[in-house]
Structure 1
């Protein structure tokens, strides 16, 4: 099976990171095309692949899959051997719930703390709605850990799609120097030690240097 992933800048595109991590979890080889965002020709280049004009996009034998959550579920169906969701039904339900909450929420945090792998500076002040989002994320991670049935330092023990979805959040909390409880800090460290994330991070930082 052949895949072609269309992404934005690795330095700045958090949703592209989710799609790439999902593919890495699936163990599926894929071709990658990077389209630089916020350029005069960005939209035209993206529309050549999909009417959404957004990244990530996954070209498959079944057509173009748009949106990182749809990509994740498609890969789960195509690669059941990879066990992209937790095996336990209760843990799996919680993992899907956490991904959905991330996918459709936390707008205050996203707006105030744009994704930038190269950043290393705290906000001058944290607005109340941003702090509410941070507190909810920390609580959500703790809920995931409580529901986990497998041992390991990822949210449900072994790396899964839920970690792909929260990796960009871990980056935001690290790069904006947000103080979090020890358990959340340990999870952020787990993401930063994840080889699949490290490869993306290295490539993203190289974009800035280039």
Structure 2
């Protein structure tokens, strides 16, 4: 399998399936295509009909959307608990993952993922972004309270739900969002995940700049 991604410093959608595959030990080759270059779209179209990353290529199959890639990996490798095994927990995990997929545009717009930077706190994105963060925190607390007893992640063990929210975790750190201790503990757990450390270490070595993602 080949996973086509963008720059590790900026590509939040690429991070999600990469984390899943890396954490669960699923073998894949990686192809990075630099974002915001004159030939970026042309290069991506060699793999993905959408012209966007990420894209997973498995033989003759191309899956070009983040959540679809994660679902494909879950079906292809059922021996891994990519989604929680418990059906009620799994339903909640999929619900909050899809809410991330479809929402929180104010936060994502005001605070693009940028792993190489740390900015002092200010009122990023105004009330709309604050409302996004409040909703995200409520989702995290609900999952942790109901299903998080077995570990530090949303459903105890690391799952696709954590992967879907990993770029949000980076945003809260990069933009110095004030959070309470339980949320700080979750953020720390995500950053301490070996797969996440590997991604961040690689991002730190990149030199390419995407001006639109530099605040």
Same fold (TM over 0.5): yes
Aligned partner (choices 9, 17, 20) of residue 18 of structure 2: 20
Shift of 1:150: 4.9
SS at match of 2:120: coil
TM-score (norm 2): 0.93
Report what 2:105 is aligned to: 107
Unaligned runs of 5+ in 2: 210-215
Shift of 1:128: 0.4
Report what 1:164 is aligned to: 163
Unaligned runs of 5+ in 1: none
Shift of 1:131: 0.2
Cα contact 1:85–1:95 (8 A) shared by 2 = yes
Report what 2:96 is aligned to: 98
SS at match of 2:57: strand
Shift of 1:22: 1.6
Aligned partner (choices 49, 67, 72) of residue 47 of structure 2: 49
Runs of 4+ in 1 over 4 A off after TM superposition: none
Q: Any idea what the Cα deviations from partners look like across 1:76-121, whole Å, max 9, x if unmatched?
A: 0011111111111111111001100000000000000000001101
Paired residues in the alignment total 208
Question: Using the alignment, how far apart are the partners of 1:55 and 1:122 within structure 2?
Answer: 30
Assess, with a 3 A threshold, how the Cα gap between structure 1 residues 189 and 149 changes in structure 2: closer, same or farther. Answer: closer
Report what 2:175 is aligned to: 176
Question: Using the alignment, how far apart are the partners of 1:209 and 1:203 within structure 2?
Answer: 12
Aligned partner (choices 51, 62, 65) of residue 63 of structure 2: 65
1:125 aligns with 2:119: no
Question: Using the alignment, how far apart are the partners of 1:136 and 1:83 within structure 2?
Answer: 26
1:189 aligns with 2:188: yes
SS at match of 1:55: coil
